[in-house]
Amino acid sequence: MESADLGAVGPYELLLQLAKGGMAEVFIARRAGAGPGEAGREPLVALKRIRADLRAESGYSSMLLDEAGLASRVASPNFVQVLDRGIDEGGAPYIVMELVVGVTLKQLTRSPEALGIGDALDLIAQAADGLHAAHEARDSSGELLQVIHRDISPSNILVGVDGRARICDLGLAWALRRTTRTKTGMVKGKLSYFSPEQAHARPLDRRSDVFSLGVVAWEVLAGRRLFVGSNMLSILHAVLEREVPPLWTERDGVGNAVTDAVARALERDRDARWATAAEFAGALRGAAERERHAASRERVGGRVAEVLPEGLRPLVAGYGPGGLLATRESVAALRAMHAAGVVGERDSSGMMAVRGSSRG
């Protein structure tokens, strides 16, 4: 598909369709009209907009605007950044995000070889940093927005070829001033990562997300799922009642410090949990230091590159601190990948890799 067929959205030239989900479609784009000498200096971005067949329904536009508004208030290297947002010529909203070349934590941990304990702890601590930044997001007057992600899982933690973990997808998030709300009785999020208060449909605060991230931490370190069941009720029962085995019994090399740090995140009484994601991050890093678990982002980035679909791997060499630049070579490579059907069709997070499912 040639870029001429895709046109432009606002000041952005659409290069390739990256993904199409149930609500939105995502394109790889670049800012149009680069001046002399600027070609190749601008990073490629991910542009997300409502699917054409849904643009007449105002609810979808409101959801996208809400997501953009919340994400734009989160400032952290461990949260997928919203770079711009606007309304196109047809009146439809769009958001522009950083383009992350990487995989989800879920994909990264599918490998038969488990992540090293130090690398796993570092990735979860990074994710906790990004989550804390979301929880601390404030409006223009400085008022806390009281963001709750509500959908923390390995599928919503991206790991780039730079070895950095990023929280993504605020599509299900709750916030004080969000205009779109969940209908009473509607289940939001992935059941196996629900907090007990989510399972009881009780009011939530940031500690609910801490529990969910605790589940992710336990699973990444143990190498298996924690709360499983054959149906919705059995999964919720597991969340509420099933005993959580100490991590030291699940993984050689994990000691009491790491076990205790994760166990506190998984306290069913939220008053006994870490009060913030920042506290959880600090506990994980402290435990890693006490137990001498070394981390290497270079090593993690190398593993990510190995897990990437083969057709995407040539892009790794062009990915730097400023992201993937819009050079002739990178654009040509992306077009070739699109023509070959390599780029994921159902991802809407701003990540160039296949994900199992997507709302957006």
In order, the DSSP letters of 290-354 are: HHT----HHHHHHHHHHHS-GGGGGGGGGEETTEEB--HHHHHHHHHHHHTT-S-SS--SSBSS-
Q: Which domains does the chain have, with CATH numbers?
A: 3-101+308-339 (3.30.200.20), 103-297 (1.10.510.10)
Distance CA(245)–CA(254), nearest Å, equals: 13
Each residue's pLDDT tens digit, 293-325:
999 999 999 999 998 877 667 778 777 777 888
Q: Tell whether the torsion through CA atoms of 287, 74, 108 and 204 is positive or negative.
A: positive
Burial class of residue 224 (count of CB atoms within 10 Å of its CB; 0-12, 13-18, 19+): exposed
Between 88 and 159, where is the model more confident? 159
Predicted local confidence at residue 293, as pLDDT: 98
Please enumerate in sequence order all residues whose Cβ is within 8 A of that of 278, keeping only pairs 6 or more positions apart, or say none. 128, 129, 132
pTM: 0.85
Q: What are the angstrom distances between the C-alpha of 93 and each of 4, 7, 47, 319? A: 21, 16, 11, 29
151 an active-site residue?
yes
Q: Which of 293, 295, 280, 349 is nearest to 99 (CA)?
A: 349
Helix (H, G, I), strand (E, B) or coil at 3: helix
Q: Which of 119, 129, 151, 347 is catalytic?
A: 151
Query: Which of 45-54, 83-92, 147-156, 325-334 tops mean pLDDT?
Result: 147-156
Between 65 and 13, where is the model more confident? 13
Predicted local confidence at residue 353, as pLDDT: 44
